[in-house]
């Protein structure tokens, strides 16, 4: 299971989600295959993700991150991805 963060630009709008297939889910966001928040705000860049052991752990982490202050989320992203680079190509290998 994965928790991931999508963004539309550096320090812009972010979306936090959970999935069991990160490549498929990010592809769906990038290609606007589902209506919703990510499509409305153009969130097409995968800027952060974590692999977790199970569904309960992943959903708990997603809820935790969603409750964080905006700056805390930015700090988390920038610890592993300071340039807010789109990580999608990295996970498609």
Domain CATH code at residue 8 = 3.40.1440.10
User: What's the mean per-residue pLDDT of the chain?
Assistant: 96
Q: What is the pLDDT of residue 35?
A: 87
How many domains in the chain?
Answer: 1
Give the structural domain span for 14. Answer: 2-91
Position 4 confidence tier, pLDDT thresholds 50, 70, 90: very high
- Model pTM score: 0.96
Q: What is the pLDDT of residue 42?
A: 94
Q: Give the count of beta carbons closer than 10 Å to the beta carbon of residue 89.
A: 9
* 80 CB-contact burial (10 Å; exposed 0-12 / middle 13-18 / buried 19+): exposed
Residue range 25-51, pLDDT digits in tens: 999 999 999 889 999 999 999 999 999
Q: What is the pLDDT of residue 74?
A: 98
84 vs 12: CA distance, rounded Å: 10
Residue 64 has pLDDT above 90, yes or no: yes
Position 93 confidence tier, pLDDT thresholds 50, 70, 90: confident
């Amino acid at each position: 299971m994965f928790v991931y963060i999508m963004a539309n630009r550096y320090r812009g709008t972010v979306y936090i989600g959970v999935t069991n297939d990160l490549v498929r889910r990010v592809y769906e966001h990038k290609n606007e295959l589902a209506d919703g928040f990510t499509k409305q705000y153009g969130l097409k860049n995968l800027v952060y993700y974590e692999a977790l052991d199970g569904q309960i752990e992943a959903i708990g982490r997603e809820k935790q991150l969603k409750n964080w202050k905006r700056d805390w989320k930015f700090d988390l992203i920038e610890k592993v991805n300071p340039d807010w680079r789109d990580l999608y190509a990295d996970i498609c290998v």
